[in-house]
Amino acid sequence: SESADITEIDGGIMEGGGQILRIATALSAILHKPISISSIRANRTNPGLRPQHMTGIQLVRDLCSGQLTGDQVGSQYFTLIPNMLQSGTFVGDTGTAGAVSLLLQIALPCLMFTPNITHITLRGGTNAEMAPQIDYTIQVLKPVLEAFGVRMDCQISKRGYFPRGGGEVTVQAKPIRQLHPINLTNLGSIKRITGRAFVAGVIPFKIAQQMAKSATSVLWRSYPEVPINIQAVQEPKNGVVGNGTGIIVVAETTTGCCLSGSALGRKGIQAEQVGSDAAEMLLRNLSYGACVDEFLQDQLIIYMALAAGYSRIKIGPITLHTQTAMHIATMMTQAQFNVVQASPSSTDSYIIECCGIGHCNPHF
């Protein structure tokens, strides 16, 4: 029967969040496998699809001219029957502060397997809670994806913050015949630490300066020999919607690894605290000797599963997001993942290995 060919996924398992939908939906379109997902975000305080999730799956539906049912805010069930991925110009607009980085997370793998260059415009929050800031996507994720062969350009047209959103990024991506495997197991030594502390809207510039100064002093205590340059930035009035503040710090190593720490300002939290929170997060990620920080692990899993060959990444403690990503990727692709301790004595450093399926772009 027709329905027997649909892969059924329990959206409430393991981490039980939006990431299950993003990986499963992208793989559905890429591999041409119909899916239905139930119990979506079932254990969250606001269960079911949020605007960002709904916009993401609708964007993939558009990319593959698929048939989608159940795509309403609050829905805990949807089915996608994909068609062929196509090139063109597409828009994903959350209408909220839903994170544009998460829209890109669901769409970008699909863009590797289209016939030609594709342009997408994404609207929502660029620097939002509970999601990578768009600066993270550009500075940390993009260089690693380039090793897989991903060619994409991401321009920030406007920044948007919680609760209004209104940010916009434009992405142009070039398809590839097959993704290459990666080997990220040698951290090297830290070459430099850069960063960006920003204020937008009505928030005074001195807040950015305080965040930058505080992050710099925390990092300098641990890495007195390393050049540290964290810029304080006042976002231009015409380049933002709403008010926001935050910081991202990135350590770059001699082998080209990038690890990060970040934080957003919130009411009642001192600027110095926001700056030191971001710095402490970076220091924690560096302490494991890993090549990939805690927020990058799970984002690489789908690419490892699809790549032509054997990938290895060195990580710190494995996150539930990453375990969930491997589970869904294996279920959809049959790629096998293996997690081993990086060294016999180490309990907080691991290597994830994967023999990818070498999915071929049917248009090449």
Binding site for ATP, residues?
A: 105, 295-299
Structure token pair of residue 117: 């260059």
- Whether 15 and 321 have beta carbons less than 8 Å apart is answered as yes
Binding residues: 105, 295-299
Catalytic hit among 321, 327, 359, 363:
321
How many other CB atoms are found less than 10 A from the CB of residue 284?
A: 15
Task: Using alpha carbons, list the distances in angstroms from residue 248 to 86, 178, 261, 276.
Answer: 35, 32, 6, 11
Q: How far apart are alpha carbons 24 and 46 in whole angstroms?
A: 21
Buried-exposed string 259-270: b where 16+ CB fall within 10 A, e elsewhere: bbbbbbbeeeee
Q: How far apart are alpha carbons 341 and 327 in whole angstroms?
A: 19
Q: Sign (positive/negative) of CA torsion 345, 347, 348, 350?
A: positive
From 120, 18, 23, select the one nearest 73 (Cα to Cα): 18
DSSP 3-state helix, strand, coil percentages of the chain (rounded to 5)? 35, 30, 40
Residue that the structure tokens 């799970």 belong to: 298
- Whether 125 and 95 have beta carbons less than 8 Å apart is answered as no
From 323, 317, 248, select the one nearest 285 (Cα to Cα): 317
Q: How far apart are alpha carbons 336 and 353 in whole angstroms?
A: 8
Please confirm, yes or no, whether 32 is among the known catalytic residues: no
Q: How far apart are alpha carbons 331 and 14 in whole angstroms?
A: 14
Residues annotated as part of the active site: 321
